[in-house]
Amino acid sequence: MREGIRQKLIGSIPDIGGRAYDPNAASSETVKPYMVVLQGEETDESDWAGFRRIVEVWPTLARNNFFDLDALCDQVTASLDGQLITDPDTGEVFTCIYQGVSGQDHTDADWDIITRGLKFAVLALQPVAVQEVYADDPWLVALAAWTETELGQDWTVYKGRWPAGYYKPSVLWRLSEIRIAGRSGAAYEVRKVFVGHVLGSTPNEQLQGVTAILQGLGGAVKLPLDVADRRYMTVSSQRADLKADALRAGQITLDLFRMTLRPRDEVPLMAAVHYDGQVEV
């Protein structure tokens, strides 16, 4: 993972001349400017977004003015934030999300440097180790198909989890909750909650994707589940949190339901009914 970040910085920022190091590799004699990549703690994130690791990048240059440091930090953020990166050694695919500055700017008179720590959360998207033997939820499949039609061929729609090497723009739908409630002796209600992650190539494209899905759901009212069998899912509610992280949390919450007939036991039909009109007292 760290090697993937190093190579991304080297390829994206020509001014550092290929100088991106581990913490113990730089010294007071190192040619400036350069980068130091520091790997931090790791935690499990979620089933759909892999695991999370903190990585700090420290752009370092000679002591002159902080405007040059600001410019170098902007280049680091632009090259890493939200980008899909592949580690050349392991083939691991991951995404960096900028988390802000780590502490204060640091000046070292002995080394004649100024530096600033930039913190990134790294989401590693792991391929599924065991091949799935069960089919996806039919509601999820139908929702993904509707989304593909609604957004068009420029968008890729995923089900369940982010794959390694995902594309932008894209949408991930995952099943979050299932509720069942009885409504009568003959039928019951099935309700499912889905979360939609909308990931655009730009912020405006991402916003347009969220808006298009919400407007489409509002106008559709019902989504096809099985057209041939005339079965549909009814849209109960939908809402979006535009501040939510697209990869980890998802911006759209969608509530769908449908009524389902209870199964009935089959019994033999009566061949005939006989009755006598006289009543004995």
Per-residue pLDDT tens for 102-116? 888 899 888 989 999
Q: What residues of the chain score a pLDDT lower than 70?
A: 42-47, 49, 126-134, 183-186, 261-281
Number of H helices, E strands in the chain: 4, 12
Question: Do the domains spanning 2-124 and 138-261 agree at the CATH topology level?
Answer: yes
The secondary structure element, H or E, covering residue 139 is: helix 138-151
What DSSP string runs through 181-222? EE-SSSEEEEEEEEEEEEE-SSHHHHHHHHHHHHHHHHHHSE
pLDDT at 45: 61
Task: Tell me which of 3.20.20.70, 3.10.129.10, 3.30.2000.10, 3.40.980.10 is the CATH number of domain 138-261.
Answer: 3.30.2000.10
CATH of region 2-124: 3.30.2000.10
| pTM of the shown model | 0.71
Domain spans in the chain, listed from the N-terminal domain onward: 2-124, 138-261
pLDDT at 41: 74
pLDDT at 122: 84
Question: What's the CA gap between 95 and 45, in Å, rounded?
Answer: 13
Q: 20: burial class by Cβ within 10 Å (0-12, 13-18, 19+)?
A: buried
